[in-house]
């Protein structure tokens, strides 16, 4: 991805994935399979659900990179060289 997009910050160059869900009183991870319609293509799902809410915007929707759904692990965000859990989108 780094070579293809020519950037070290892949989340800014490609898409943030599911990283902006705020901490709630229930599990905030989303169901997998939302990008199945993309096949082996790269892009964002039309909609993603956590079982309670449906999301359609960047930072809240699942992504697929060359057929691999959520390459950041669903709720991870990169800060510098570290991979951290994002609870508030920062």
Is the residue at 78 inside a domain?
yes
pLDDT at position 89: 46
Is the residue at 64 inside a domain?
yes
Domain count, the chain: 1
pLDDT at position 88: 44
Is the residue at 10 inside a domain?
yes
Is the residue at 66 inside a domain?
yes
Rounded CA-CA distance 4/80 in Å is 19
Is the residue at 33 inside a domain?
yes
**Which range of residues forms the domain containing residue 11?**
2-85
Is the residue at 90 inside a domain?
no
Q: Are 32 and 48 in contact (CB under 8 A)?
A: no
Nearest-Å Rg of the Cα atoms of the chain is 13
pLDDT at position 74: 65
Look at the block and give the residue holding tokens 């692990």: 73
* pLDDT mean for each 10 residues of the chain (90 residues): 85 84 72 91 91 88 90 66 52
């Amino acid at each position: 991805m780094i070579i293809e997009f020519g950037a070290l910050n892949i989340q800014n160059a490609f898409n943030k994935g599911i990283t902006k869900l705020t901490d709630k009183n229930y599990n905030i991870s989303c169901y997998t399979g939302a990008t199945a319609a993309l096949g082996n293509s790269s892009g964002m799902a039309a909609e993603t659900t956590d079982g309670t809410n449906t999301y359609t915007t960047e930072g809240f929707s699942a992504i697929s990179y060359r057929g691999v759904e959520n390459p950041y692990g669903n709720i991870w965000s990169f800060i510098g060289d570290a991979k951290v859990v994002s609870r508030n989108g920062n």
